[in-house]
């Protein structure tokens, strides 16, 4: 077996690769040992996943959805306390509920003085950014590209010879290089749209209501282009596996009567 990113032999590797990071709530959809070598697994975690997770959108969407990281901690959201002009962090835990503290590097004493000076029953003002979707940035694009290649591999797990075909596929070389080697300043285009609110509750027949954390799949357009479609917290991202353009997906989308169904991999949790 060979790694789908660096193409090196990976038979002795021990890491499993989470297609969508554990820090976004994925515990079930993984590539088994060998699909991504130990070196690439470590590199992708540090250089591709973490920069996206650390964006304002990455942090605030995880805070809103109350999704803990691998250490069991929900990342704080960042806001501005108007009265002290201090940056603050909002924390949440199942045990203690919500709390607030001055952000690292801020003048904590000034922030506390502004709270103490409030009259009894007085209120302060917090401004908290609420990005509807991530910026079309290098970090976002590279993260989606990484997930896309792994979605392709996941869809082929039961296909004999799929590992060699994906590794040797010339049409995947540009995207593979973009993920593994990077190209700062170049943004591989991603089509983004909101399918449903992050906390939307689904109900199917007599089953208990549930929320969908993730969905993903592969679509093929009439022009024989292949797009990975990834939905995280109700936000859909589509990326062309064969080249940096979206025209084929946009034409395909215009002909669809309803929203895209990405159903190869669905992660859900009980509502409430």
User: Hey, which residues does 193 pair with through a beta bridge?
Assistant: 236
Supply the pLDDT for residue 259: 56
Quick one: how far is CA 33 from the chain centroid? 22
Supply the pLDDT for residue 258: 62
Residues 108 and 167 in one domain: no
Residues 75 and 178 in one domain: no
215, part of any domain: yes
Look at the chain and report how many structural domains it folds into: 2
Distance CA 123, CA 137 (A): 37
Supply the pLDDT for residue 207: 80
pTM score, two decimals?
0.88
Query: Which domain-ending residue is among 86, 112, 127?
Result: 127
Burial class (CB in 10 A: 0-12, 13-18, 19+), 121: exposed
Supply the pLDDT for residue 189: 97
First to last CA, the chain: 42
The b-or-e profile of 158-182 (16+ CB within 10 A means b, else e) is: eeeebbeebbeeeebeebbebbbee
139, part of any domain: yes
Distance CA 80, CA 88 (A): 6
Residues 180 and 204 in one domain: yes
Q: Angle at the Cα of 38 (from 6 to 134), degrees rounded to 5?
A: 75
181 touches 171 (CB < 8 A): no
DSSP string covering 197-257: -TT--B--TTSPPEEEEEEEEEEE-TTS-EEEEEEETTEEEEEESSSS--HHHHHHHHT-S
Q: Angle at the Cα of 93 (from 88 to 97), degrees rounded to 5?
A: 80
Which pairing describes strands 235-240 and 126-127: parallel, antiparallel, or unpaired?
unpaired
Residues 105 and 229 in one domain: no
Helices (DSSP H) in the chain: which residue ranges?
38-44, 50-53, 56-65, 108-116, 138-155, 162-168, 173-180, 247-254
24, part of any domain: no
Residues 142 and 260 in one domain: yes
Residues 170 and 243 in one domain: yes
pLDDT digits (tens, 9 = 90+) for 152-204: 999 999 999 999 999 999 999 999 999 999 999 899 999 999 999 998 998 87
228, part of any domain: yes
181, part of any domain: yes
Residues 161 and 123 in one domain: no
17, part of any domain: no
Residues 143 and 263 in one domain: yes
User: Hey, which residues does 232 pair with through a beta bridge?
Assistant: 214, 235
- Domain encompassing residue 246: 134-270
Q: What is the mean pLDDT of each run of 10 residues along the chain (272 residues)?
A: 96 94 91 96 96 93 87 87 89 85 87 82 83 92 98 95 96 97 94 93 84 93 94 96 96 78 66 61
């Amino acid at each position: 077996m060979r790694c789908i990113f660096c193409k090196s032999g990976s038979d002795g590797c021990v890491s499993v690769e989470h297609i969508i990071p554990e820090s976004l709530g994925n515990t079930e959809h993984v590539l088994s040992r060998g699909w991504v070598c130990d070196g690439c697994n470590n590199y992708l975690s540090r250089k591709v996943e973490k920069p996206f997770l650390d964006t304002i959108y990455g942090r605030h969407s995880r805070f809103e959805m109350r999704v803990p990281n691998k250490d069991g901690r929900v990342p704080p959201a960042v806001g501005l306390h108007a009265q002290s002009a201090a940056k603050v962090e909002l924390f949440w835990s199942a045990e203690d509920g919500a709390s607030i503290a001055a952000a690292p590097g801020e003048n904590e004493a000034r922030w506390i003085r502004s709270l103490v000076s409030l009259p009894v029953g007085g209120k302060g003002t917090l401004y908290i950014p609420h990005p509807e979707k991530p910026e079309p940035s290098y970090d976002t694009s590279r993260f989606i590209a990484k997930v896309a290649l792994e979605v392709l591999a996941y869809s082929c797990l039961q296909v004999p010879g799929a590992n060699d075909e994906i590794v040797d596929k010339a049409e995947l070389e540009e995207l593979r290089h973009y993920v593994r080697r990077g190209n700062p300043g170049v943004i591989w285009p991603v089509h983004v749209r909101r399918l449903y609110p992050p906390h939307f509750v689904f109900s199917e027949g007599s089953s208990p209501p549930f929320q969908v954390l993730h969905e993903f799949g592969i679509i093929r357009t009439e022009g024989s282009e292949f797009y990975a479609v990834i939905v995280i917290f109700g936000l859909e991202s589509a990326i062309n596996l064969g080249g940096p353009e979206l025209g084929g997906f946009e034409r395909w989308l215009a002909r669809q009567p309803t929203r895209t169904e990405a159903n190869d991999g669905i992660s859900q949790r009980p509502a409430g």
